[in-house]
Amino acid sequence: MEKLNELLDLIIKPDSESALRCKERLDNIAKPIDGLGEFECVLPKLAGIYGDDNFNIDKKAIVVMCADNGVTVEGVSLTGHKTTTAIAEHIVGGTAVVSIMARHTGVSIYTVDIGMYDTINAPGLIHAKISNGTNNIAKGPAMTKAQLLSAIHIGMKMVRKLKDGGYRIIATGEMGIGNTTTSSAVASVLLGISPRETTGRGTGLSPDAFAHKIEVIKKAIDINKPDRSNTIDVVMKIGGFDIAGLIGMFLGGAVYKIPIVIDGVISATAALAASMISKNCVDYMLASHLGKEPANKYIFEKLGLNPVIRANMSLGEGAGAVMLLPMLDLAVEVYRQNTTFEKVNMKRYERSEM
């Protein structure tokens, strides 16, 4: 924990002057004021992170954290750990949804076994297994504190490695059956609201199975008694290795000064937890989309982030995060290439006072 705290002490606020210059430039290019909508908030945020208002996002990556969750034995999901294995193989094999999206948009994909039950030897898979899945949270803590901290450091090391490799922006993804249960449990405790408000149907549970899932989450919280004021305690007791690895990525984004894109509810839960470990790391987060899982809206409200995409997605894998990247490419190119009002001999639009 001491080493983690030493790294977090390195976090500083983004460069406000670069962000301001970016916003002024956006206001001076030949388009309506705030015509790019939410991107007119995202682009100055990127300028601040990079400390440069003439930035690019030419080299992009996504990291998919794969892990299994012991709570699946409680019948909270339609399938078991074999599905985690199969989808992970598809991701590294290039046939999963996120793989196709990444390939088509020029995004490098890194798939990490941070805690899958099975061990696969697929070319390209990054082996960083903490354990063969977590323990069943309905019976006791998901993991030990040492395991949690190891997973967080794995996420941070991935960010440092990619930053050193020249990547400019990193998206987050995950794969792990049962992780909507663990994320709903963690979000419920950290937000201080009922599991009924944070829990969704995952991949399509029946009404009875959905009610059972909520009861299992309530049981896990009651048995483990996670301390809401101690985020490490909460994730250790009712979280998952994928969540822990993603927490490390969000913290790493702030430490190493690179934007990290939030995907769906598992990724968003990790972002929430990271923000409670170090509040300044939110300055380095981008919200891609608002998915179906009900916890999403509460988490983004708490983080003060506004997801760009409203497509009602519930896919996972990092698909929503990857989908944001080509949209960002377009916005950045408009910002870098569009002419100014002066050059086209037009009167500049002015922002009206509200």
- By annotation, the residues acting in catalysis are 317
Q: What angle do CA 84, 86, 91 make, to 5 degrees?
A: 90
* Measured distance CA(134)–CA(188) in Å, rounded: 19
CA neighbor of 48 nearest in space, from 11, 18, 12, 10: 18
Residues forming beta bridges with residue 108, ordered by sequence position: 61
- Sign, Cα dihedral of 101, 125, 168, 176: positive
Q: Is the CB of residue 105 less than 8 Å from the CB of residue 322?
A: yes
Burial of 5 (0-12, 13-18, 19+ CB in 10 A): exposed
**DSSP code of 283?**
G
Amino acid at 154: I
* Measured distance CA(161)–CA(248) in Å, rounded: 13
* Measured distance CA(176)–CA(34) in Å, rounded: 39
* Measured distance CA(2)–CA(165) in Å, rounded: 27
Distance of CA 293 to the CA centre of its chain: 14
Q: Is the CB of residue 260 less than 8 Å from the CB of residue 172?
A: yes
